[in-house]
């Protein structure tokens, strides 16, 4: 996900929009679920394809995102349900809406630019703020808790497993030595002292990613979703998932392959689709995106 500003208004720049629409193969009277609606860029495109009998369900853990979408997607001829929830709760969400199955599901697992550019959420190492990193501001666990309270070995494992950072142990050791760390600047300094300058921005990105994933239980929620979504797809229904790092992409790839072997799930992307060079130039944050899609055969 990404966004730009025009005359002070946020405008969402959805990743691979044409590929998303093509692979969802929108039925005009269908029911579609956008499990990570963000600022509504993809959802707006889906809505434009739906008739008055269509229905879009937009979900996001970030309440601010839902409030933004309520203003940016105020009226469409088709039904629109906007819910502050998590996509991994797909069963309870659809049960509450009295919807048995949907024709398509979209997940864009990227961090929205309005989150990354927030001056008080702590998602980026470029802005000094409190160590928060929560998508859902009602939950208690924050980045501060991860950084200051868990044992050194556990912290090193978080950084290595969630960020694939090879220098996880010296970084964790330095963080523990510098505790308490209260702000982004303190975490950046700990990483700086524990790593060489070569490609340090990549190291910073990996460590911040690792902690954010741990704060929000992102991989666990993805696992739950991947184990439950199949039964909520109509025959002929399609799913599109855009991931932004290898941990997520591997989970999606293995899930689709497993469903293919067990149920004849039709994988539509033998290899993940990636943005064109032109899109990467226009939206640099799309450069690590990988899109996989599949269809439930009837």
Domain count, the chain: 2
User: What pLDDT was estimated at residue 261?
Assistant: 93
Residue 17, domain member (yes or no): yes
At residue 12 the predicted structure's pLDDT band, cuts being 50, 70 and 90, is low
Gap between the Cα atoms of 96 and 84, Å rounded: 13
The pTM score is 0.93
The reported pLDDT for the residue numbered 122 is 94
Quickly tell me which residue has 């707006």 as its tokens: 44
Residues 6+ apart with CB under 8 A from 100: 94, 232
Same domain as 92, residue 14: yes
Structure-token pair, residue 231 = 């039964």
Task: Note whether residue 289 is domain-resident.
Answer: yes
Closest CA to 143 of 199, 183, 196: 183
Of 197, 217, 237, the residue that ends a domain is 217
Q: Closest by alpha carbon to 222, among 273, 162, 166, 267?
A: 162
Q: Kind and range of the H or E element at 55?
A: strand 55-60
- Interatomic CA distance for residues 123 and 115, integer angstroms: 7
What are the C-alpha distances in Å from 94 to residues 13, 255, 260, 271?
Answer: 28, 21, 24, 30
User: Both 59 and 207 in a single domain?
Assistant: no
Shared-domain flag, residues 142 and 267: no
The b-or-e profile of 97-136 (16+ CB within 10 A means b, else e) is beeeebbbbbbbbbbbbbbbebeebbbbbeeebebbbbbe
C-alpha span between 23 and 52 (Å, rounded): 22
In a domain, 199, yes or no: yes
Query: pLDDT at residue 165 above 60?
Result: yes
CATH of the domain at 136: 1.10.150.170
Which residues lie closer than 8 Å to 258 by C-beta, 6 or more apart?
Answer: none
What is the rounded distance in angstroms from the CA atom of residue 106 to the CA atom of residue 235? 16
Same domain flag for 11 and 98 = yes
Q: Average model confidence (pLDDT) for the chain? A: 93
Please check whether residues 212 and 234 belong to one and the same domain. no
pLDDT in tens, 240-293: 999 999 999 999 999 999 999 998 899 999 999 999 999 999 988 899 999 999
Q: Which of 217, 245, 260 finishes a domain?
A: 217
Q: Is residue 225 part of a domain?
A: yes
Residues 13 and 97 in one domain: yes
Question: 122 lies in a domain?
Answer: no
* Residues 131 and 207 occupy one common structural domain: yes
Query: Is the pLDDT confidence value at 1 over 60?
Result: no
Measure the CA–CA gap between 143 and 74, rounded to whole angstroms. 34
Distance CA 232, CA 235 (A): 10
Q: Is the pLDDT of residue 174 over 50?
A: yes
Same domain membership, residue 236 and residue 104: yes
Any alpha helices (H) in the chain, and if so which ranges?
17-24, 41-49, 63-72, 90-96, 113-116, 143-149, 152-163, 168-178, 184-194, 200-216, 218-226, 246-263, 277-282
User: What is the rounded distance in angstroms from the CA atom of residue 13 to the CA atom of residue 44?
Assistant: 11
DSSP string, 280-298: HHH-GGGTT-EEEEEE---
Could you list the residue range(s) of the whole structural domain that residue 46 is in? 3-114+219-295
- Residue 185 placed within a domain: yes
Q: Which residue has the tokens 């599901």?
A: 105
* Mean per-residue pLDDT, 52-71: 95
Residue ending a domain, among 217, 240, 272, is 217
**Same domain membership, residue 71 and residue 171:** no
Give the 3-state secondary structure of residue 61: coil
Is residue 72 located within the same domain as residue 166?
no
Q: Are residues 212 and 276 in the same domain?
A: no
Give pLDDT tens digits for 258-270: 999 998 899 999 9
Residue 94 lies inside a defined structural domain of this protein: yes
Mean pLDDT, range 31-44, rounded to an integer: 96
CATH code (residue 97): 3.40.50.150
On whether residue 181 sits in a domain, the answer given is yes
Are 212 and 240 part of one and the same domain? no
């Amino acid at each position: 996900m990404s966004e730009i500003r025009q005359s002070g208004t946020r405008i969402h720049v959805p990743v691979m929009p044409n590929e998303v629409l093509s692979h969802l193969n929108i039925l005009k009277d269908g029911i579609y679920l956008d499990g990570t609606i963000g600022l509504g860029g993809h959802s707006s495109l889906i809505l434009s394809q739906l008739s008055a009998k269509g229905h879009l369900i937009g979900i996001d853990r970030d309440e601010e995102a839902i409030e933004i979408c309520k203003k940016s997607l105020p009226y469409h001829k088709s039904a629109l349900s906007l819910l502050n929830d998590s996509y991994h709760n797909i069963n309870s969400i659809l049960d509450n809406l009295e919807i048995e199955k949907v024709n398509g599901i979209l997940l864009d697992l990227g961090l929205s630019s309005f989150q990354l550019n927030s001056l008080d959420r702590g998602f980026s190492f470029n802005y000094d703020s409190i160590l928060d990193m929560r998508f859902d501001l009602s939950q208690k666990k924050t980045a501060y808790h991860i950084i200051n309270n868990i044992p050194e070995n556990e912290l090193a494992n978080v950084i290595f497993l969630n960020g694939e950072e090879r220098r996880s142990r010296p970084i964790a050791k330095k963080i523990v030595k510098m505790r308490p760390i209260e702000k982004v600047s303190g975490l950046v300094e700990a990483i700086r002292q524990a790593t060489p300058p070569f490609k340090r921005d990549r190291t910073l990105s990996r460590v911040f990613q690792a902690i954010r994933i741990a704060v929000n239980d992102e991989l666990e929620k993805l696992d739950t979703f991947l184990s439950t979504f199949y039964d909520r797809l109509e025959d002929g229904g399609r799913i599109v998932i855009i991931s932004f790092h290898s941990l997520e992409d591997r989970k999606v790839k293995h899930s689709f392959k497993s469903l293919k072997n067990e149920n004849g799930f039709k994988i539509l992307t033998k290899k993940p689709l990636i943005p064109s060079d032109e899109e990467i130039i226009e939206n640099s944050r799309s450069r690590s995106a990988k899109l996989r899609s599949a269809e439930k055969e009837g």
